[in-house]
């Protein structure tokens, strides 16, 4: 199916997601940031966590735009078990060049960009509760992160 | 190019820059150009960037702010970033991002004090 993104063991069914955003223009980075912010706000995340989620999406979208030219951001609310609190899951997916040394890229301080800090992926990992990345040279990159809602 | 993305206020030889718009990549790059132009044309010796309305500062925005401050410094001008929202500061700290080449203050008065002391 055209709508379904498949990246080896990761299946993304677009119908499961509350927000699907195509990242293609530079402006889409700011748009994704704003959408993530209002989605997290609407779901009663704390101000600190709203900021962390919006910042993480900003980093993911920029990586898509910069390194893969285009790709998608998927956002959904996840209700785990009844009584337990919800979380927000974010997937960044692209079919760009992929990352040669994923471990090095995630460790932080490494960048292939000239005007950059190399602290995007490592930063996202620290901001979120869970972080998963799969990347294959010539195939693309998928990053899956999750942030749980905390009582405050 | 003389287009201003952010209206600025000159006070003594300081320039106050209240950012009240979304900082997408092209906007922050234009802002950098604007500030460097204003430093040279209006003989500015200190820049105060008020980010109290900015609710996301990611690694690229941080990079451009520091880069701008480094360029300004080379032109004899110091940069103070003023009123970073607490949750933005928290996020930057957690990501391990340090704003290099800038001073920070939590009020406009504090920012002016810092610049006065540097003179
Ligand atoms: N979606 C992607 N596709 C290809 N390469 C990527 C992608 N995301 C990140 N990378 C690679 O990983 C490096 C580190 O990324 P990141 O931590 O975001 O820092 P930065 O973007 O500042 O370089 C990048 O410089 C790039 O080489
Ligand atoms: Mg990045």
How many independent structural domains does chain B possess? Answer: 1
Closest residue by Cα to residue A141 from A88, A101, A83, A108: A101
Is the shortest distance between the CB of A29 and ligand 1 below 6 Å?
no
Residue B60 lies in a domain: yes
Does B22 touch chain A if contact means CB atoms closer than 8 Å? Answer: yes
Give A91-130 pLDDT, tens digit per residue.
Answer: 999 999 999 999 999 999 999 999 999 999 999 999 999 9
CATH topology of domain A17-148: Heat Shock Protein 90 (3.30.565)
Contact A71, A55 (CB under 8 A): no
Give B14-54 pLDDT, tens digit per residue.
Answer: 999 999 999 999 999 999 999 999 999 999 999 999 999 99
Residue B26 lies in a domain: yes
Report how far residue A78's alpha carbon sits from residue A148's, in angstroms, rounded to the nearest whole number.
9
State the CATH number of the domain containing residue B50. Answer: 3.30.750.24
Residue B54 lies in a domain: yes
The interface predicted TM-score (ipTM) is: 0.94
> Which residues, at least 6 apart from B66, have a Cβ–Cβ distance to it below 8 Å?
B99, B100, B101, B102
> Which residues, at least 6 apart from B20, have a Cβ–Cβ distance to it below 8 Å?
B6, B53
Does A52 touch chain B if contact means CB atoms closer than 8 Å? Answer: yes
Calculate the CA dihedral of residues B51, A110, A66, B57 and round it to 10 degrees.
-10
Expressed as residue numbers, the domain containing B37 is 18-107
CA atoms within 13 A on the CB side of B86: 3
Residue B3 lies in a domain: no
Report how far residue B66's alpha carbon sits from residue B47's, in angstroms, rounded to the nearest whole number.
13
Which residue ranges make up each domain of chain A?
17-148
Tell me the ligand closest to A112's alpha carbon. Answer: 1
The pTM is what?
A: 0.95
CB count within 10 Å of CB B26 equals 13
CA nearest to A31 within chain B: B24
**Ranges under pLDDT 70 in chain A:** 1-9, 152
Report how far residue B80's alpha carbon sits from residue B46's, in angstroms, rounded to the nearest whole number.
8
């Amino acid at each position: 199916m055209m709508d379904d993104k498949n990246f080896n063991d990761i299946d993304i069914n677009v119908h499961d997601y509350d927000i699907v955003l195509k990242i293609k223009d530079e402006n889409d980075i700011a748009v994704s940031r704003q959408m993530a912010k209002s989605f997290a706000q609407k779901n009663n995340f704390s101000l600190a966590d709203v900021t962390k989620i919006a910042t993480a999406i900003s980093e993911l979208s920029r990586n898509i735009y910069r390194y893969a030219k285009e790709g998608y951001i998927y956002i959904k609310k996840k209700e785990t078990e009844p009584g337990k609190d919800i979380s927000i899951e974010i997937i960044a997916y692209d079919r760009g060049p992929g990352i040669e040394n994923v471990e090095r890229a995630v460790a932080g301080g490494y960048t292939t960009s000239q005007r950059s800090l190399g602290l995007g992926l490592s930063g996202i990992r620290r901001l979120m509760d869970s972080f998963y990345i799969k990347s294959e040279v010539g195939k693309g990159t998928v990053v899956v992160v999750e942030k749980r809602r905390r009582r405050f | 190019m003389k287009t201003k993305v952010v209206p600025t206020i000159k006070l003594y030889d300081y320039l106050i820059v209240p950012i009240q718009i979304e900082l997408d990549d092209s906007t922050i790059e234009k802002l950098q150009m604007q500030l460097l132009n204003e430093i040279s044309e209006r003989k500015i010796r200190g820049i105060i960037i008020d980010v109290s309305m900015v609710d996301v500062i990611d690694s690229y925005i941080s990079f451009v702010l520091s880069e701008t401050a480094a360029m300004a410094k080379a032109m004899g001008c110091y940069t103070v970033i003023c009123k970073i929202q607490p949750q933005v500061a928290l996020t930057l700290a957690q990501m391990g991002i340090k704003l290099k080449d800038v001073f920070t203050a939590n009020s406009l008065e504090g920012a002016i004090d810092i610049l006065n002391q540097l003179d």
